[in-house]
Amino acid sequence: MSTHEGKIAIVTGGKQGIGRGVADLLAKRGAKVVLVNREKASDAASSIGNNAIAIAADVTQQADWANVAKEVEATFGRADILVHAAGIYPMASLDQMTPEEWRKVMAINLDAHLLGARAIVPLMRKAGGGSIVAIGSDAVGMVTPPGMGFSHYMASKMGVIGLVRALANELATDNIIVNAVHPGITDTEGASGMPNEQKAQVYMQQAIKRLGTPADIAGPVAFLTSDDARFVTGQTLVVDGGWMRL
């Protein structure tokens, strides 16, 4: 399938996990992929192929985003797609959590979405439009098992919903659509710190009783960044094996 032929797709957190799954699929469908990662992901870019490139950047820093935009513009002249897959999944109870830990989660899981949009939207306007997809979490609908301790994580992902809706409204006149994909528990490096018994407590309540994979999430992201989704904006697509059916 060549649904993304010639499109310029920026993917944060594209070195591994969901971001890597998204980058692989978009490249396979014809996109020129730009991996944005704290550590430059040149090996991942080479593995993805189709002239993918890697840019080292801290997604919580506006100056780094300005550099990403500058490099993308110099290399491709525009941007068509921005997928925010960078995120962290720490666990800390209310009593254990420090203000610094709270701010770190908010900076990576929420602030970075706004900073990225500020930097990349001008390049989408040059292209005549584009698509932004934020990777959220079905945790926003969870009644979590006791002891999971991730109120900072849930708060950051709830913020993503509000930001997506606001940006969808604001950017519609620029022909830019903005949506979110909310995965369930996915078998990635980022979820490795969650005890297996707690993962099982959650996914055994799903209709499909297994962990999701990056490929399970990449397909819906590919749809939302394709021309087939040009009339879809401000929406949240839950991809969690049927957990939120409950």
Residue 242, C-beta contacts closer than 8 angstroms, at least 6 positions apart? 206, 207, 208
Q: How far is CA 127 from the centre of its chain?
A: 21
Q: Give the angle subtended at the CA of 17 by the CAs of 64 and 207, to the nearest 5°.
A: 135
Which residue among the candidates 76, 150, 153, 243 is catalytic per the annotation? 153
Rg (Cα) of the chain, in Å, rounded? 17
92 and 101 Cβ atoms separated by less than 8 Å: yes
Backbone torsions φ then ψ of 77, nearest 5 degrees: 85, -10
203 carries an active-site annotation: no
Q: Max Cα separation, the chain?
A: 50
Backbone torsions φ then ψ of 131, nearest 5 degrees: -140, 130
Q: Which residues are catalytic?
A: 153
